[in-house]
Amino acid sequence: MGRGGIEMTTATLDARTLPAHWRDFLALTKPRVMTLVVFTGLCGLLAAPGGIHPILGFTTILCIALGAGAAGALNQWYEAEIDAQMKRTAGRPLPAGRMDRQSALHFGVGLSFFSVILLGLAANWLAAAILAVSILFYVIVYTMWLKPRTAQNIVIGGAAGAFPPVIGWAAVTGDVSALPVALFALIFFWTPPHFWALALFVKTDYAKAGIPMLPVVAGEVATRRQIWLYTAIMAAAAMAPVLLRLTGPIYGTVAFLGTALFAIFAFQVSVRRESDPEKMQPERRLFKYSILYLFLLFGAIVIDRWVFA
């Protein structure tokens, strides 16, 4: 075999030359994170008064999933070099060299337009406008602007992830009232403890990539204190629908017990002084529980509204 033959063999075995597989496009949408995003959107839709035709409901949820996935793809398009430096993200399609940036950009932009226009045509343009704002917020405000600049990045940028229940509600009712605003507030104040619990045990990754996440720039003690502070505000947001009589006893009970457990876990994390990621079991527990917590509270809202409608 001549020299060219060897080169061809090497090139053929190099993953970089293979066409991007559909699984990589799926990975661009951050499907695991987006399950909860879509679930909260679904709950916003199901909790809204009036009901919606099942096909329209399905289309709305599809649009939220596609829009959130598009935002995830644009985030990965923009952050390919940063992702390459972190263990947690180095295996993603772009840093691993399985896809070129142009494809990710086209996929993200195309899917963004498709999801917003389809939602506008199928449901209404208020819901579509909020979806467009969420995508722009996550990609431009959080990813491009705040994330590389300030440790408060996720506090403000996290608003993007709080919009889906509002989109679901708006798709049914054509407006936004007190309950969807309360659900927005719940996710908004939940995001800091959710993310900073994880940031504590992946701190070195962020430091390596030069991302000013709170534990990197303000230290672990300050981060633990802020987790506790935002948990207290989140607890108030979680109980607000009960105090405002927007929900009934099922949500009230689940929210009270679920939030009490969240507060216990967050308190344990806030008083610890451990900096070895290998020994951060309470921090991992808080992060994992934060996800279950939102599933529980949003599920309870829907059951409550259905039972006591």
Ligand X SMILES: CC(C)=CCC/C(C)=C/CC/C(C)=C/COP(=O)(O)OP(=O)(O)O
Provide the binding-site residues for ligand X, judged by CB under 6 A.
Answer: 30, 33, 37, 64, 67-68, 71-72, 75, 79, 89, 131, 134-135, 138, 147, 160-161, 163-164
The distance of closest approach from Cβ of residue 161 to ligand HEM in the complex, given in angstroms and rounded to an integer, is 2
Nearer to ligand X, 57 or 248 (CB): 57
Q: How many residues sit in the footprint of ligand HEM (CB under 6 A)?
A: 19
161 touches ligand HEM (CB under 6 A): yes
Q: Give, in order, the Cα–Cα distances in Å from 302 to each of 40, 133, 169, 259, 305.
A: 10, 25, 12, 18, 5
Residue 36 touches which member of ligand X, ligand HEM, none, C-beta under 5-8 Å by kind: ligand HEM
Calpha distance 214→211 (Å, rounded) = 9
For residues 16-35, which are near ligand HEM according to CB under 6 A?
Answer: 32-33, 35
Smallest separation (angstroms) from ligand HEM to the CB of 24 = 15
Residue 187's binding partner among ligand HEM, ligand X, none (Cβ under 5 to 8 angstroms by kind) is ligand HEM
Instruction: Name 265's Cβ contacts closer than 8 Å, sequence gap at least 6.
Output: 282, 285, 286, 289
Q: Which residue, 164, 158, 143, 240, is CA-closest to 192?
A: 158
Residue 198 partner contact from ligand HEM, ligand X, none using kind-dependent CB cut-offs of 5 to 8 Å: ligand HEM
Residue 100 to residue 1: CA distance in whole angstroms: 31
Phi and psi at 252, nearest 5°, equal: -55, -45
Using CB under 6 A, which of 37, 80, 185, 269 touches ligand HEM?
Answer: 37
Indicate the residue among 135 and 183 with the shorter CB distance to ligand X. 135
* Binding string, residues 107-146; x marks residues near ligand HEM by CB under 6 A: -----------------------------------x----
By CB under 6 A, name the one of 88, 106, 149, 208 that touches ligand HEM.
88
Considering only the stretches 77-85, 153-161, 258-266, 300-308, report the one whose residues sit in contact with ligand HEM under the rule CB under 6 A.
153-161
Residue 235 or 248: the one with the smaller Cβ distance to ligand HEM is 235
In the block, tokens 């602007």 appear at 145
Pairwise CA distance, residues 161 & 174, whole Å: 20
Q: Spell out the residues 6+ positions from residue 75 whose beta carbon is closer than 8 angstroms to its own.
A: 30, 138, 139, 143
Q: Phi first, then psi: what are they for 59, rounded to 5°?
A: -65, -40
Q: Which does 64 bind (CB under 5 to 8 A by kind): ligand HEM, ligand X, none?
A: ligand X
Pick the closer one to ligand HEM by CB: 32 or 53: 32
97-to-12, 80, 94 alpha-carbon distances in Å: 14, 10, 5
CA distance 117 to 181: 24
Structure tokens belonging to residue 37 = 């995003």
User: Which tokens in the block code for residue 176?
Assistant: 């936004």
Applying CB under 6 A, the residues found at the interface with ligand HEM are 32-33, 35-37, 40, 88, 142, 154, 157-158, 161, 187, 191, 194-195, 198, 291, 294
